[in-house]
Amino acid sequence: MTVDYDVVIIGGSLTGRYAAILATQLHAKVALVEPTAQKIFPHLLTPHALAYLGKCQQSAMSWEITANKKDTVEWADILQQVKGVVADVEEQYSPAVLAALGVDMISGDGQFVRSPALTFSVNRRQLKSRSYLLATGSRPLIPNIEGLQATGYYTTADILSVLNANPPTRWAIIGGDPSGIQMAQILTRFGLDVTLIVKHSHILPREDPAIVQLIQAALEAEGVRILTETPVTQIKQIQGTKWVQAGNYAIETDEILLCAGQQPDLAHLNLEAVGVRSHRHRLVLNAKLQTTQPRIYACGEAIGGYPLTNIAHYEAAVALKNALAVSRDRVDYGSIPWAVFCDPQLARVGLTETQARHLFGDIVVLRQYFKSIAAAQIEMATTGVCQVVLLLNGEILGATIVGAYAAELIHVFSLAIAQRIKINKLAQLAPIYPSFSEIFAQIAALTYQTHLNRGSIWDKILTTFRRW
């Protein structure tokens, strides 16, 4: 079959545009199909906007303290800065930039067609390609709550436009995912009344409870009301006021913000008809990010999970190389870090303590608190902890950092895990003093107080099997 492209990317997300640029660097002939522009923006860069908004607010609060709160912070100016950052990032992935690189940009809604051969049909064109990459956006997961649709709600994609005017005073945030944590803190720092409602036993349920408790305590200290193990069962509007029934609580609020997660936006692509299978609304993929239709791959938000840009870009690179037969890479998330840009920040790579105990049994857990770091004392940022999970031979299984610059510091552990660098090697570092990097040498020094051993041959075989 004569083909038009090496790869056709079904986009609608920042990852789709990143993948298109990467495909040109791999010398591929590439087409990027996106829905109409208004469907992509401003949703495309919402995570970046939230992260920058939180950083601006943190700086503004520090400025207020030094000024003894004699002046007020102009939040409209901060929002304008946020929009400027969004515009700058957007420009790096603009259609003009992609077109200049040779990407065939196609705007329109399309779907896969099986007969007579696998193609993607859009704007009355049949795009024939050696391979296809699903890099679509996602849409908010809307929980099935009685009265929710009738009462109305916002999602994070709407939030910048809401804050630009006079925002409602009282907010109920449903969901404890990363965007919910960030938004609870941001809205509180705007001087708004916030209740965060979480159905799990703690916020960020995938993380170790002891670690998350530091962030939960920080949010509560700033005024966020957090209700855990409290499922929302009903929402009503009575005389212009919204009421949220959550467990035994009846919460009066002005607006509702949904942060219950995202789900892939794939329903319109006719995937099932061309042999792409799903399980529980998630694509069935192998380690090469290949679907059950061998010529169709997927990455990023199309796969599901948290919309984390760095992980989505990693997946795009793996999927593209496999789709273009450049290599036979397999995804390995064990050394890929991620972060939540709340204050203090949370960053993790590898396994949590709970996961490691389940997989390996006997492990060693080291913790070092930020109050021991001179730089943290100088910057008055002593709230934080670095936790490292180890095998008995000193191999690092995972690390979690809560505190200032956590998203920067975590990369050292990411490299250590990827290169199988044991914890004792970090003790050889001579970090700049004063700096937050002291945490590496300090936590590595704790290994001298533990009972690490080299392990027998049988231990090594058993560890390898469990890791596999």
- Co-location of 178 and 129 in the same domain: no
- Domain boundary residue among 221, 243, 260? 260
Torsion sign over Cα 236, 237, 239, 241: positive
Q: pLDDT class for 236, splitting at 50, 70, 90?
A: very high
- Co-location of 102 and 237 in the same domain: no
- Domain boundary residue among 260, 284, 300? 260
Q: Is 300 annotated as a binding residue?
A: no
Q: CATH number for the domain including 443?
A: 3.30.390.30
Q: Is the pLDDT of residue 256 over 70?
A: yes
Q: pLDDT class for 343, splitting at 50, 70, 90?
A: very high
- Co-location of 381 and 463 in the same domain: yes
**Residue 407 and residue 253: Cα distance in Å, rounded?**
34
- Co-location of 357 and 416 in the same domain: yes
The per-residue DSSP string of 259-307 comes to -S-EEE--GGG-TGGGT--EETTEE---TT-B-SSTTEEE-GGGT-SS-
Q: Is the pLDDT of residue 139 over 90?
A: no
Give pLDDT tens digits for 52-105: 666 666 655 554 444 343 334 456 777 777 778 777 878 889 999 999 999 999
For residues 35-57, average pLDDT: 58
- The pLDDT of residue 44: 46
**Least confident window among 193-202, 301-310, 398-407:** 301-310
**Tally of structural domains, the chain:** 3
Q: pLDDT class for 36, splitting at 50, 70, 90?
A: confident
Q: What is the pTM of this model?
A: 0.89
For residues 246-258, average pLDDT: 95
- Co-location of 14 and 50 in the same domain: yes
For residues 277-291, average pLDDT: 93
pLDDT: which is higher, 396 or 80: 396
- Co-location of 72 and 121 in the same domain: yes
Domain of residue 79, residue span: 5-140+263-331
Q: Is 59 annotated as a binding residue?
A: no
Report the 10 Å Cβ neighbour count for 154.
19
- The pLDDT of residue 361: 92
Q: CATH number for the domain including 316?
A: 3.50.50.60
- Domain boundary residue among 331, 354, 373? 331
SS3 397: strand
Amino acid letter, residue 56? C
- Co-location of 267 and 250 in the same domain: no
Buried b (16+ CB within 10 A) or exposed e, 416-437: bbeeebbbeebbeeebeeeebb
Q: Is 13 annotated as a binding residue?
A: no
| Helix, strand, coil share of the chain (percent; to 5) | 40, 25, 35
- Co-location of 340 and 450 in the same domain: yes
Q: Is 137 annotated as a binding residue?
A: yes
**Least confident window among 115-119, 199-203, 260-264, 452-456:** 452-456
For residues 219-242, average pLDDT: 94
Which H or E element spans position 42? Answer: none
Q: pLDDT class for 234, splitting at 50, 70, 90?
A: very high
- Co-location of 107 and 162 in the same domain: no
Q: Are 376 and 403 in contact (CB under 8 A)?
A: yes
- Co-location of 16 and 48 in the same domain: yes
Q: Is 110 annotated as a binding residue?
A: yes
Return the residue matching tokens 């400025």: 63
pLDDT: which is higher, 79 or 389: 389
- Judge residue 358's burial from the number of C-beta atoms within 10 Å of its C-beta, 0-12 exposed, 13-18 middle, 19 or more buried: exposed
- Co-location of 61 and 127 in the same domain: yes
